Each structure stands twice: as C-alpha cells, then as structure tokens.
Structure 1
Amino acid sequence: MKLYIKNMVCSRCKMVVKSVFEDLGINTLSVELGFVELENDIPENQKKKVLHQLHAVGFDIIDDKKSRTIDIIKTLIIDLVHHKDHDLKTNLSNYLSQQLHQDYNSLSNLFSEIENTTIEKYFINQKIEKVKELLMYDEMTLSEISYQLNYSSVGYLSNQFKKITGFSPTYFKQLKDKKRKQIEDL
C-alpha cells in the first residue's frame, strides 16, 4: 500500500514521517519524498490515527489523484533544485513528463488550475529560494551560484532575483533579516 504525503520536502521530513509510522507500530517498506510504502493495508481507524499524527507535525495524506500529481510535481521540482544541482541543466518539461509518464501540457494545465500559478513560476521561486540560501552561506560568488543553478548569466540571475524579491542579490546579502520562505509555503 502506498500513501501519498503532502509537505515532504527534505530528508528530515522523511525521518519525521517514518517515526510517526514507527510510533504507531506500522511497518514501512520505504519512506521517500512524497510517499510512504507500507507492507500491508491499514484499517480505517488506524489511518485516522496516522492522519492525526501527521497533522501534528505538519504533514497530510493526499487522497485524490489531482492533488497527488500536484504534490509529486512540487516534490520533483524541490528535489531537482535543492538536492540535484547538476541535473538543473535538463529541460524541466521533459524531466517532469518523463518522471510522471504524462504529457507536459496536461501537467501544466492541472498545476495552473489547482495552484493558481504556473509550473515555471513555481520552479523559478524554488531557484530564487536556493539563491537566497547560497547567498546567506556566503561561500560562493554570485557567478558560481549562477553557474550552479544553470542561469545563462549573472545578469539574468540578478534581474530575476530582483523581479521576485524586490532586491538585488548584493543588497539582499547585506540585509540582516533575510526573510526566507519555507519551501512548502512557496
């Protein structure tokens, strides 16, 4: 049995979700970003306990197919931007189509309908959050960040950053209160 979990975006999320299932005595085969695979089906009353425990730590079970697809798209984009820097050179539409085995246009239309934004804007927002993170670490130059996130130039990155945040990357780096958003709030 596979349960799709909303808001799983990092390895810590996987650990927290796994501990919820362990605490309830439910054996898992695997816990991955966006889903948990169980050895057996669980009864409805136990599923309610799981749901309650997941809610308590900021997660939710996704039951309908559209929501699952949207959550998988978000998880794939987050994973691509925040964990697979070298894969950013791939074409996003091809990447999503291959991963989900669906036509990109239908994925794009569904995402826009449900999320009121486009996949591309969501992708850009994730990239800008990654830029903010890397700027805060202060270990890379803007040129290195631009290269790592597959921007065609530092100028393009700077323009996109300013368009999204209202600040230049240099000014943002100087801010004491760097207001970053949680990944799941994008």
Structure 2
Amino acid sequence: MQIIEPLEFGNYYHIYNRGINSENIFKENRNHEYFLNLYGKHINPIAETLAWCLLKNHFHLLVRIKTLEEIQENKNEFKKIILHQSFGNLFNAYTKAINKGYNRHGALFERPFKRKLIHNDTYLKSVIKYIHYNPVNHGFCEHPIEYPWSSYLTCISEKPTKLKRKKVISLFNNIEDLKTFHSKKENFDSLENFLSL
C-alpha cells in the first residue's frame, strides 16, 4: 500500500504528477497558461511557490505551505482548510477544461498526486535545480534558460512575480551563484529513483 505524505502547514514540499498512462496533459501553449492561471487561483492562497516546471506529460512544483495564520489573514471567513483539497480543486478544474476542449472524458492525472517533504536547505536547493533541469533531462533543451515553461527565467528576471524569487536567490547566496549552480551538469539519478516518476 502506498504511503501518502500528508501536507502540513509551514512545510516545504516537492509536488509532482503526470498524466494517466503518461498521457500528455499539456498539448499546446494555451494549456500551460490556463494551468498557471488556475494554479494562481487555487494554490496561491494556501502556498508560496519557489519553483515550477510544466512538461508535456508531467509537472513539478516546489511550494511552502503557508501557516494557518498566514492563510487566515487573507480570508474574510474562517472555515476548515483542507490543504490537499486545494490541489485537488486545481487538478479537477484543469481536467474538466481539457476534457471539454479536446473531446475526452475521465481522469487526466494519476491519483493521488505525489508529494515529498523537504527537510533542509541543501535538499531544497537540489530540488530547485532538479525542477529547472527537467526539460534538459528530457531532451527539450540544452540549458534551463531555453525552456519557457519553468520558473528559471523568472528567477533570473527582475519582472514582478508571485514566485518567492528573493528566497530562492538567497538559498544560492546571490543571483550569480544561482546561475553558476544551474550551469553545472548534474546526475539526478538518485533523486529520480527517490521520486520514481
């Protein structure tokens, strides 16, 4: 029986999933854009995002679940907050749109969605690089800077963003160290085996 990591307030998680039977979940650019819009609606109220990447048949997210106090300070009403339900709402809303737009039916994502608790800053840095390097590892590009559907470009930009860019940069000391860290090839086999995606 698969053990599912519970989501808890204040913790960092690597959240990832793929299409059922490895089906493509992002078929064209407007799908990525729609997913990110839904993500803002459903996830931004309960989590801060440090990294993300959307590929054809899977995605990776790195989030810090907000504390209960942080979540409630932005809500007018106090109701029970079920953290995994926010992610479920995101995936259900996206599935409905894809099913309607592409004349399909049924589940789109594998269930349950995968999540790994991140215990320390070293692991946090490794997961950020792993997420940004995913398109390179899958042969879509030679360097993360070439891939438009990840947070790497946002990390090295100065444009306004809801991504926790300052936190990410501080983990690497400064933006130049972040770029240097991302320019070095790395073998992610141990992390891949751990994630088993």
**TM value normalised by structure 2:** 0.30
**TM value normalised by structure 1:** 0.32
Computing the radius of gyration over CA atoms, which structure comes out larger, 1 or 2?
Answer: 1
Structure holding more helix per residue: 1
